[in-house]
Amino acid sequence: MAFVRNNLPRVQLALRWVRVNDINPFEWTTSAPIIDPSELGDNQVLIKNHAVSLNPVDYKMATTNFSNTKLPAVTGYDVSGEIVAIGNGVKDFKINDEVFGFLNLNTSNGGGALQQYSVGEIETLIKKPKEISHTDAATLGVAFVTAMDGLRQVDINSSKSIFIPGGSGGVGHFSVQIAQIRGAKQVITSASKDEGIKILKEHYKIKDVINHAKENIIDRVKELTNGEGVDIVYDTTYLESSFEKTMKTVKEGGTWVVLRRFGSDTSKERKILDERKVKLVLADLGRYWLGNERAQLEKFAQNTLLQGAKWIEEGKLKPYINQIIKLEEAQNALELIKQGKGGFGKIVIKLL
């Protein structure tokens, strides 16, 4: 029998995912069911969410359901909160522990972050240090872990240059910081809005920021690298129009890293890279949750979350939160992210 905190409510506020489409997949409700703790899996916990952060995958999942989630459900994957119930097999967590991390991409049976109480797998949760706020901890989910997944697969050191298109996004703003922490010789990034460029230069001390709305990024990267191109590109933009350009900024024999589902063996990106003798690296959390690498998930996720927390405590990693909103505002915020108007860094929902 699961261990449960007393007096759990039966219903909750939630942005429910009720249909798979691009127009209106969500419905707001004040009476979404909270999973009965007796239904928790052996290695699951029920989290009372204090803070949740948003990512593009929150709306992308709702339009495609590539996780085969049973509806109605909830999207959202980044959480920080306190444990109020634990499954029978849980040994390392107890009731009232404060935890943070990210949730299963398949949010059937109580998963998903855009609600007051969420079911989480212990594989991708760790205890939250007291020195870190719930709002900061909530940012260290999908975006930070994706940034780490891409960059852990490449050798970054004091002899390597790296170009990170999309430096003002969630994944991008973490990636530029990770590259700095790991001692890259040169970090180049790009943004299109004056505010983002200013933040990258002043807040994160990135010297070389390209305005891709006004400048030719291929020419600018070549100029900044004495005509050679960079050793590594991590394109965090999700935009095929960006891929066509950024592939041409990698020097021969370098590495091009890209987010999820792009760059498959038969893609045009793969063919262009092969012609230029550039190595393709995929950053893809889906392969852990939904693919054949589930056995590697716990070690990778927990080590990554621990590292992120340590860097925040040391002042090396600084999540940029451009808005703190209420859960009731989540749908509007997701629409802004979808339109490319989500602002620099992260949007966080504060529930408590």
Tens of pLDDT along the chain (352 residues) come to 577 888 899 999 999 999 999 999 999 999 999 999 999 999 999 999 999 999 999 999 999 999 999 999 999 999 999 999 999 999 999 999 999 999 999 999 999 999 999 999 999 999 999 999 999 999 999 999 999 999 999 999 999 999 999 999 999 999 999 999 999 999 999 999 999 999 999 999 999 999 999 999 999 999 999 999 999 999 999 888 888 899 999 999 999 999 865 445 556 777 888 888 999 999 989 889 988 899 999 999 999 999 999 999 999 999 999 999 999 999 999 999 999 999 999 999 999 9
The span from the CA of 174 to the CA of 231, in Å, is 19
Q: Which pLDDT value is given to residue 81?
A: 98
Q: Indicate whether 41 and 99 sit together in one domain.
A: yes
Please provide residue 173's backbone torsions phi and psi, each rounded to the nearest 5 degrees. Answer: -70, -25
Q: What is the pTM of this model?
A: 0.96
Does any domain span residue 167?
yes
The span from the CA of 218 to the CA of 294, in Å, is 38
Q: Indicate whether 18 and 136 sit together in one domain.
A: yes
The span from the CA of 48 to the CA of 268, in Å, is 45
Q: Indicate whether 314 and 247 sit together in one domain.
A: no
Q: At what angle do helices 297-314 and 142-151 cross, to 10 degrees?
A: 100
Q: Indicate whether 158 and 276 sit together in one domain.
A: yes
Matching residue, tokens 């109480």:
117
Please provide residue 126's backbone torsions phi and psi, each rounded to the nearest 5 degrees. Answer: -135, 165
Q: Indicate whether 185 and 268 sit together in one domain.
A: yes
Does any domain span residue 191?
yes
The span from the CA of 200 to the CA of 19, in Å, is 38
Q: Which pLDDT value is given to residue 232?
A: 98
What stretches of 18-141 adopt beta strand conformation (E)? 26-33, 44-53, 78-86, 98-102, 117-121, 125-127
Q: Which pLDDT value is given to residue 241?
A: 83
Does any domain span residue 149?
no
SS3 157: coil
Which CATH number is 177's domain given?
3.40.50.720
Q: Would you tell me how many other CB atoms lie within 10 Å of the CB of residue 25?
A: 21
Residue-number span of the structural domain to which 71 is assigned: 3-143+292-350
Q: Name the nearest CA neighbour of 166 among 123, 196, 203.
A: 196
Does any domain span residue 235?
yes
Contact of 191 with 211, CB cutoff 8 Å: yes
Does any domain span residue 322?
yes
Q: Going by C-beta distance under 8 Å and a sequence separation of 6 or more, which residues neighbour residue 7? A: none
Torsion of CA 322, 325, 330, 333, to 10 degrees: -30
Q: Would you tell me how many other CB atoms lie within 10 Å of the CB of residue 244?
A: 13
- Domain end among 282, 302, 331: 282
Q: Which pLDDT value is given to residue 238?
A: 80
Which CATH number is 335's domain given?
3.90.180.10
Domain count of the chain? 2
Q: Which two tokens stand for residue 6?
A: 């007393």
Cα angle 112-117-118, degrees, rounded to a multiple of 5: 35
Torsion of CA 262, 266, 268, 272, to 10 degrees: 100
Q: Indicate whether 133 and 11 sit together in one domain.
A: yes
Q: Name the nearest CA neighbour of 168 among 206, 199, 208, 213.
A: 199
- Domain end among 282, 302, 320: 282
Q: Indicate whether 296 and 271 sit together in one domain.
A: no
Please provide residue 73's backbone torsions phi and psi, each rounded to the nearest 5 degrees. Answer: -150, -160
Q: Which pLDDT value is given to residue 270?
A: 79
The span from the CA of 347 to the CA of 303, in Å, is 24
Q: Indicate whether 48 and 137 sit together in one domain.
A: yes
Q: Which pLDDT value is given to residue 264?
A: 54
Does any domain span residue 169?
yes
The span from the CA of 44 to the CA of 264, in Å, is 33
Q: Which pLDDT value is given to residue 263?
A: 46
Q: Which pLDDT value is given to residue 291?
A: 85
Q: Indicate whether 341 and 234 sit together in one domain.
A: no
The span from the CA of 57 to the CA of 54, in Å, is 8
Q: Which pLDDT value is given to residue 262?
A: 46
Q: Indicate whether 117 and 14 sit together in one domain.
A: yes
Q: Indicate whether 211 and 165 sit together in one domain.
A: yes
Q: Which pLDDT value is given to residue 260?
A: 67
Most distant CA pair in the chain: distance in Å?
66
SS3 270: helix
Q: Which residues pair with 350 in a beta bridge?
A: 51
The span from the CA of 184 to the CA of 171, in Å, is 18
Q: Which pLDDT value is given to residue 275?
A: 87
Q: Indicate whether 248 and 275 sit together in one domain.
A: yes
Q: Which pLDDT value is given to residue 3?
A: 78
Does any domain span residue 148?
no
Does any domain span residue 111?
yes
